[in-house]
Amino acid sequence: MDVQAGAQFMNIAQRDLLFTGGQIGVTYDWLRLQFGTYGTSTPTANLKDEHQHILIDIQLAAGWHPQWDAFALFLGASASLGFWMQNVNIPESMGTGTTFRAAFVVRPTWWLARHWGLTLHLDAGVTFGRFRSNEISVSPAGSALFGLQYRF
């Protein structure tokens, strides 16, 4: 089980967005499940206010998970489904959307002790999103997170 914080990049509605947030996940043998929440803001047209955006996603990954004495690695592919809320701080212009993301995942872990380790999560892939219009947008996406892992 691990808890991580970091950033996620994607292009939503023709805007490059950098979301910051975190995730909690669990890895069992070759399978990984994680839940994440991220947030970002963009300036309004008058540059005096900001629009707040939230992304909540669940990700399932499968891959190769070798473990050595003080080092472990997870190499695989993932698919995630996300729910995106736009302009949450301005109710009259709030919008929602969904995202689907496919990515390659690399997760090295350095074990500090028998049960505790430091994990770096890196992934790169593509996001398919449906937002205010019925058009589906496709954009490159990636994330980098760093955190603490506990092994049972």
The pLDDT tens digits of the residues spanning 110-128 come to 999 999 999 999 999 999 9
Tokens standing for 77?
């592919």
The gap from C-alpha 79 to its chain's centroid, in whole angstroms, comes to 11
Q: How far apart are the first and last CA of the chain?
A: 8
Domain-wise residue ranges, the chain:
2-150
**pLDDT value for 47:** 66
Give the integer Cα–Cα distance in Å for 145 and 5.
5
Q: Whole-prediction pTM value?
A: 0.87
Tokens standing for 138?
């496709």
Does residue 57 carry a pLDDT above 90? yes
Give the integer Cα–Cα distance in Å for 69 and 50.
48
Fold of 2-150: Porin (2.40.160)
